Amino acid sequence: MLNAGVLDDTGTTRDGFQIHFGINYMSHALFLKLLLPTLLSTATLPGSDVRVVSLTANAFRMHPESGIEFENLKSAHEGAGLFGGFVLYGQSKLAVLLQGKELARRYPQLTSVIVHPHRSNTGLISNLPFWKKTLVWIGSFGDMASVEVGAMTQIWAAVGKEVENGIYYESNPGAKGALENASEDQDLSKKLWEWTENELKRFE
């Protein structure tokens, strides 16, 4: 279960990635790369059900116009502007979604599930400045779930019998989420996968 994230931060990780992209996406990509041999080996066992559950957010729709700005992924984006943090967050969550779908295409013997677990009142939101926290609440139309309710979708993705490989589910367990241009772009997901593989070579 790939689940870690930050929102509305600037700067870079110590490895040099823009902090949203480094924590929300690259850390998961490295973890997945390290686990992949074990996952694939386990998938050959009789009766195995090997799943990778990737947590994105429906805020992936706030991604930059190009989808993934590869040329800026190692920039601190200090001058991103008032809403720049949300755009960078959206880009990182689009990357998570694309990676999950590409994983399903490359390794169909695994079950790769991508979920938006609901807008949940975790520290990701409660630690925002007041005005930005207010924007999130307004954008949620007051529909902010508890942590317990927010966890239901990812738990369902981990154990539910109806889960399909490579599908994006949104909020309610079993509800398929709507996608749009960049999130359905297989060329972009392939480019991201190959770019990521090249970047992760330094950790081998």
Active site residues: 89, 93
Angle between helices 186-199 and 84-106 (to 10 degrees): 90
What b-and-e string marks burial along 39-67, b requiring 16 or more CB atoms within 10 Å of the CB?
beeebeeeeeebbbbbbbbbbbebbeeeb
The residue count for the chain: 204
CA atoms of 134 and 61, how far apart (whole Å): 19
Cβ atoms within 10 Å of 196's Cβ, excluding its own: 19
